[in-house]
Structure 1
Amino acid sequence: MQHTTVQGHLVMNLVASNELSFRIVVDLAYDPIDPYAVRFTFHLPGDEPVTWVFARELLLDGISRPAGEGDVHIHPVSGELSEVCIVLHSPDGDALLRASAAPLIAFLARTDRLVPMGQEITGGELDAELADILRGRENAG
């Protein structure tokens, strides 16, 4: 079985205040083994990279309208589809990031070609795969 992932890179602005922001490189990753999730790895100056994992559907929704509960909120800037704002809440503090929507849309399109939205593995398929794995262990042991 061929295993393919979708990866991308973009530059986002980490907003420190209305007057100050920092450009940071962000790696995007999508792995069909975890078909509902996307991974954002933020490369912060002078720190170890930080990875956040959240729902692919949340990213899609947040490009066109406010979306998210809990630790991740995404919304278009000024109601337009050209720029996206991502707010991350953690025990260490909050981060406000802004990015062009175009590379995010292109990344999501590539994930959709690999695993179409709404066609992620279902519970029944997962049960069948788990049964196959367990059968393989029984035969190996």
Structure 2
Amino acid sequence: MIQGLPAKLVGVHATSPPMIMNLRYEPSDPYVVHAAFTTDADSDESVEWIIGRDLLIDGLEGPAGEGDVRIWPTGEEGCRDLYILLNPPSGTALLKAPAHEFKAFMQETEAVVPRGAELGHSDFDRLLAHLLAER
């Protein structure tokens, strides 16, 4: 399942271009959500992050995460935003997206693979092949 969400890069410039955050969830890799960030819907250039699904779900309710990825909601119920801080060694980006759209996507992932049932959906053969190919 794939969903594009509007996002904004916070704190860089007052006129930062709007971003699109394409979220992708694959039941065969049930513990993570792939997030690809781009500034143009027609662009093939994007930056992709792999973020733990539980981290995203927990971040909708309150501050979550340590290290490279931190997530927290702000605002009043019904008009909340979700902040995502990406902090790799190469730099930092703070993104803001509508929490209700994120929540709808995460609920869809839970309908496909309920939280706690991920182990039964994992494709261990594909994971092992991926790990061995990196050597």
TM-score > 0.5 by shorter chain: yes
Q: Give the aligned partner of residue 137 of structure 1.
A: none
SS at match of 2:105: helix
Code of the aligned partner of 1:51: E
Distance 1:78 1:119 in 2: 32
**Counterpart secondary structure, 2:67:** coil
Structure 1: 5+ residue runs without aligned partners? 1-5, 131-141
The alignment of Structure 1 onto Structure 2 pairs a total of residues equal to 122
**Structure with the larger RCO, 1 or 2 (CA within 8 Å, 6+ apart):** 2
Q: Residue 41 of structure 1 aligns with which residue? A: 36
Structure with max Cα Rg: 1
2:20 is aligned with 1:25:
yes
Higher percent of residues as helix? 1
Residue identity opposite 2:29 in structure 1: D
* 4+ long deviations beyond 2 Å: 16-22, 44-48, 78-81
Cα deviation digits, residues 64-104 of structure 1 (max 9, x gap)? 10000110000012575711100001122100000110110
Q: Confirm whether residue 69 of structure 1 aligns to residue 66 of structure 2.
A: yes
1:60 corresponds, among 51, 57, 76, to: 57
Q: What is the TM-score when the length of structure 1 is the normalising length?
A: 0.76
* Structure ranking higher in strand proportion: 1
Residues 108-127 of structure 1 mapped to structure 2, 5 A cutoff: 108-121=106-119
Which structure 2 segments of 5+ residues have no match? 126-135
Q: 1:68 to 1:7 in 2, by over 3 A?
A: same
TM-score, scaled to structure 2:
0.79
Could you tell me which residue of structure 2 aligns to residue 87 of structure 1?
85
Q: 1:78 and 1:100 mapped to 2: Cα distance?
A: 10
Contact persistence 1:10–1:103 (CA under 8 A): yes
1:63/1:75 contact within 8 Å kept: yes
The offset of 1:22, in angstroms, is 3.0
